Chains A and B, each alone.
Chain A
Amino acid sequence: MWEVPVADMAVRAPHPPGFKHQFEDMDQQREADSLGMWVFLVTEIMFFGGLFATYIIYRALYLPAFETGSRLLNVKFGAANTAVLIGSSLTMALAIHAAQAGKKKSEQVMYLVLTMILGAIFLFLKFNFEWRADYHEHLIPGFHFIIRSEWGAAGPHVPMFFCFYFFMTGLHALHMLIGFGILGTLTVMAHRGRFSSEYYAPLEVSGLYWHFVDIVWIFLFPLLYLIGGRFAIAGVH
């Protein structure tokens, strides 16, 4: 294919749909697509990183309060949601695979819809069970938070933990809501047959985003739910 000068190739040579003319070939375009998305994800790492760094500092300063708060979270929902989100990452990867392997567009649509369903299950468990229970137990700072006497000296700082909990899981949930918009758009595009084994960049970069959101949760789960000395109350729950 290199008989044609590079500058002219884009105009003259036959090219697959979705090929942008500023690139030399599809491989270069694919690499640029992924690289650009990763640069964005680096900014996302730093965006969440600010919260993680602050969490580490305040956890060190108010350790008993953070451990008390952590043990008030429902680890069953946390673990179930981790599994659900990992499942949605799998279906997202399979949607991309379906396009790469040149499978029918109905298969791409099926996996994308499955990804959205699993994402919806995650948010349903989080909002309808966890956050609703937190509200009824007066554990949301700013919404009649009640400091319990059984928390002892750590009590006044427990709201600090819940501020982090709601900011971090809330920011994560916001990313998932944005993900639904992206997945919905992808589903329509897949239904219209926009993706092929040669061109599937929107699927690939959106997949990177969705997996990134999964990774954030992979760290939120142990940081918020698990490392608060849960073994100390193992017999209670």
Chain B
Amino acid sequence: MSAHVVPVKTYLGIFVALLVLTALTTGAAFIDFGDLHTGIRLVDVIPLNTVVALAIAVAKMLLVILFFMHVKYSSGLTKIVVMAGFLFLAILVSFTLADELSRGWSPEAGGWNTPVPMILPLLGGLF
């Protein structure tokens, strides 16, 4: 009874894969992949260079986490904790972006200066 021992060959294979991905992502930065136009508000223009660079970074991260950090061979509990870490990071980034990106949205056809009835006069005493 002891921990799973990853063979040296696996480590070397992951190392080579990480180096290849590093070379790929560096080379890809010098090629213009252009933009993807989705027609969806907020994400209308998606720069494909950024997508490629981050996709390669995520692939490298997964290789390091699964093999160098032994998460592939870890207990389910450890795997859940690892995923929880990235879940919280996703909440942090997405909620911050949701706030920041929606600040320019107008609630009324007339924009922010449209008088809002009822509530403001009631609160008037506070201001």
The residues of A with any CB-CB pair to B shorter than 8 Å are: 25-27, 30-31, 34-35, 38-39, 41-42, 45-46, 49-50, 52-53, 56-57, 60, 75, 79, 82-83, 86-87, 89-90, 92-94, 97, 100-101, 197-198, 204, 207-208, 211-212, 214-215, 218-219, 221-223, 225-227, 229-232, 234
A90 to B53, CA, bound (A): 22
A146 → chain B closest CB, angstroms: 26
B77 at the interface (CB under 8 A from A): yes
How would residues 22 to 65 of chain B score, 1 for a CB under 8 Å from any chain A CB and 0 otherwise?
11011011111000000000000001011001101100110011
How many A-B contacts if CB must be within 8 Å?
149
B112 at the interface (CB under 8 A from A): no
A211 to B60, CA, bound (A): 12
Q: Is the CB of A46 within 8 A of B22?
A: no
Q: Is the CB of B88 within 8 A of A39?
A: no
Q: Is the CB of B77 within 8 A of A57?
A: no
B118 at the interface (CB under 8 A from A): no
A87 to B12, CA, bound (A): 10
Q: Is the CB of A211 within 8 A of B30?
A: no
A30 → chain B closest CB, angstroms: 6
Central interface residue in A79, A90, A93, by most chain B CB within 10 Å: A93
B106 at the interface (CB under 8 A from A): no
Q: Is the CB of B64 within 8 A of A90?
A: no
Given A90-B15, A93-B68, A97-B11, A226 contacting B5 (CB threshold 8 A): no
